[in-house]
Amino acid sequence: MQIHKHTKTLLIPVLLFGLAATGCTPKQAESSTASADGKVEIDFWTFWGSETRRPIIEKIINDFNASQDKIIVKHTYLPWGDIWTKNLASIAAKNPADVIINDIASVDQRASKKQNTELTAYLEQDNIQDRFYESLWDNVLYEDKAYAIPFNTDTRMLYYNKKAFREAGLDPEKPPATWAELEEYAIKLDKKNGNVYDQVGFHPLWGDFGIDNWLLNADGGKGFFDNDNNMYINTPAKVEAVNWIKSWNDRLGKKNVDAMQAEFGSEQSNPFISGKVAMWIHQGTFATQIRDYGKDMEVGVAPIPEKTEGSGHYSGGGGFVAEIPYGAKHPDEAWEFIKYLTDYDAQKYWAVKNFDNVANKEAASDPELLSDPIYKAAVENLEVTTHFRAPIAVPDFKNLITPQIDSALLGNITAEEALAKAETDVKSMIQQAGK
């Protein structure tokens, strides 16, 4: 009788299939649209699952749920990175969330692919556009129509260790303002012990800035493309910037730089907090890490140094938006929630708890928040912060630029050659895409 036992085991999946096909699954997969008391339940997906962020967003959600009696928001945490994969799959299967937190840099790209919902009709009914920083609002438009609502943003600044400044005989109240000063300070802050550095003043590629941002800083705040898709890859200022970055490698020794970069890239120990590096570029929220892990550090913060006096302290930034995935079941209720999420109360709560730059101007410049010097500096820095955008046609154009610059930094080709080659490659990519 053995056979029968096994046949049954094999039949289970077959039966399940039969059940599935006829639609009588044991558990209904469709999210229930109406809860017991007649409220509409909407799904809200975020990647805020950590102990610090989850309680903050969940308090905002609970406040919203209590503030009215029509809608219940259900929060689902999905890991960073994988949240986008799941979002895509669920849009393709026509079963997406009602609201999702997504990247501000690619709203237009998603809009062009029908991944998010156009909000024009809602904005005519509730005009909330004026709540937000203009530069952020620009980022949620595709063909002049809004497809998302800004939630938060970030900007990068120069943090410096005041103690190290004093030891090196520098004035802790006078941070470097230009590239030349940055270099001069850095050399004074270097502490070498034989062949090994005990402390390094600065290196442009450590921290959270990166080559792209330096090229933007050098070039009057222009990235590789402006909002009208004009290209600025092979410009004199950008060539100069690549050469300048290479000069740091030459001075400190490529091997040292590589070694230290590998350490600092491990995302674990932070060389600024542990006193290995005296000047460090990072986002505004870095202040919370200094507060939590930097025992009795004295930290100053300043705008990114400019190439030459008057060229501009340009910085790069990003941020996140709330959007309604295309094909969501409850767009009207989703809109109500997004309105709440980006209104003064929720935004201020988020900013206070996270030390984060929020998109709502009024909440961002609340006096209580501005009393903190680093937060205040970050808000002011938003004025000179540019947001990267990629042309819709060639979203991954940077793949053609990065290796050329890497090659120039390794000394295989000159900076001019690198950027010229990159520009030619990107041009032909655009031509290809236009076919």
Partner 1 sequence: MGQAYSYSKGEAELVQPSLHKPGRRLPLRKVLIFTFLCAGSVLFLLPLWWMISTSLKSMQEIAQYPPTFIPEQFHWSNYLETWTAAPFTRYTMNTLLLTFFAVTGNVIVNAFVAYGFAKIRFRGKKLWFSVLLSTIMIPGFVTLIPQYVLFSKLGLVGTYYPIIIPQFLGSAFYIFMLRQFYLTIPTELSEAARIDGAGHFQIWYRIILPLSKPGLAAIAIFAFNGAWNDFLGPLLYVNDESLYTLQIGLQSFRGAMQTQWNYLMAGSVIVLVPMILLFFLFQRYFIEGMNLTAGTKG
Partner 2 sequence: MNMNQPQAGAQHPLKASKPRRGKLARSEDRAGYIFILPWLIGFFGITLLPLLFSLYGSFTNYDITSQMDFIGLANYERMFSSDPLFWKSLSNTIYYVLWMVPLTTIGSVLLALLLNERVAGMRMFRTIFYLPSVLSGVGVYFLWMQLLNPSTGLVNTLLSWVGIAGPAWLTDPFWTKPAVIFMKMWAVGGGMLLYLASLQSVPPQLYEAARLDGASALRRFRHITLPMISPVIFYDVVTSLIGGFQVFQEGYVMTESGGGGPMHSLLFYNLHMWHKAFTVFDMGYAMAMAWVLFVVVMILTALNLKLSKRWVHYEGGDS
Nearer to partner 1, 6 or 435 (CB): 6
d(CA 231, CA 179): 25
Question: Could you say whether residue 261 binds partner 1 (CB under 8 A)?
Answer: no
User: Which of partner 1, partner 2, none has residue 270 at its interface (CB below 5 to 8 Å by kind)?
Assistant: partner 1
Binder among 33, 62, 63, 82 for partner 1 (CB under 8 A): 82
Q: Which residues contact 221 (CB under 8 A, 6 or more apart)?
A: 312, 314, 384, 386
Binder among 46, 115, 360, 386 for partner 2 (CB under 8 A): 115
Q: How many residues bind partner 1 (CB under 8 A)?
A: 58
d(CA 421, CA 415): 10
What's phi and psi for 114, nearest 5 deg?
60, 45
User: Which of partner 1, partner 2, none has residue 353 at its interface (CB below 5 to 8 Å by kind)?
Assistant: none
Pull the structure tokens for residue 87.
């979002």
Q: How many residues bind partner 2 (CB under 8 A)?
A: 42
Question: Could you say whether residue 289 binds partner 1 (CB under 8 A)?
Answer: yes
Stretch that binds partner 2, among 112-120, 221-229, 271-279, 302-310 (CB under 8 A): 112-120
d(CA 313, CA 156): 11
Binder among 19, 34, 92, 370 for partner 2 (CB under 8 A): 92
Helix (H, G, I), strand (E, B) or coil at 198: strand
Pull the structure tokens for residue 197.
């550095």
d(CA 199, CA 361): 39
Question: Could you say whether residue 13 binds partner 2 (CB under 8 A)?
Answer: yes
Least Å from the CB of residue 232 to partner 1: 29
The CA distances from residue 421 to 230, 241, 398, 428, in Å, are 17, 16, 13, 11
Binder among 13, 169, 310, 434 for partner 1 (CB under 8 A): 13
Residue ranges of alpha helices (H) inside 119-178 are 120-125, 134-139, 162-167
Binder among 1, 4, 36, 51 for partner 1 (CB under 8 A): 51
Question: Could you say whether residue 406 binds partner 2 (CB under 8 A)?
Answer: yes
Element (H, E) at 76: strand 71-77
Binder among 290, 338, 351, 400 for partner 2 (CB under 8 A): 400
- The residues facing 75 across adjacent strands are 44
Instruction: Classify each residue of 22-49 as buried b or exposed e, where b means 16 or more C-beta atoms within 10 Å of its C-beta.
Output: eeeeeeeeeeeeeeeeebbbbbbbbbbe
Stretch that binds partner 2, among 151-159, 239-247, 304-312, 403-411 (CB under 8 A): 403-411
Nearer to partner 2, 52 or 402 (CB): 402
Element (H, E) at 321: strand 319-323
Binder among 29, 36, 66, 262 for partner 1 (CB under 8 A): 29
Stretch that binds partner 2, among 28-36, 84-92, 297-305, 328-336 (CB under 8 A): 84-92
The CA distances from residue 22 to 16, 121, 391, in Å, are 10, 39, 46
Residues of this chain that bind partner 2 (CB under 8 A): 2-3, 7, 10, 13-14, 17, 84-85, 88, 91-92, 109, 112-115, 255, 258-263, 265-268, 326, 395-396, 399-400, 402-403, 406-407, 410, 425, 428-429, 432
Residues of this chain that bind partner 1 (CB under 8 A): 2-3, 6, 9-10, 12-13, 16-17, 20-21, 23, 25-31, 43, 47, 49-54, 76-80, 82, 85-86, 88-90, 92-95, 263, 267-271, 273-274, 276, 283, 285, 289, 292-295
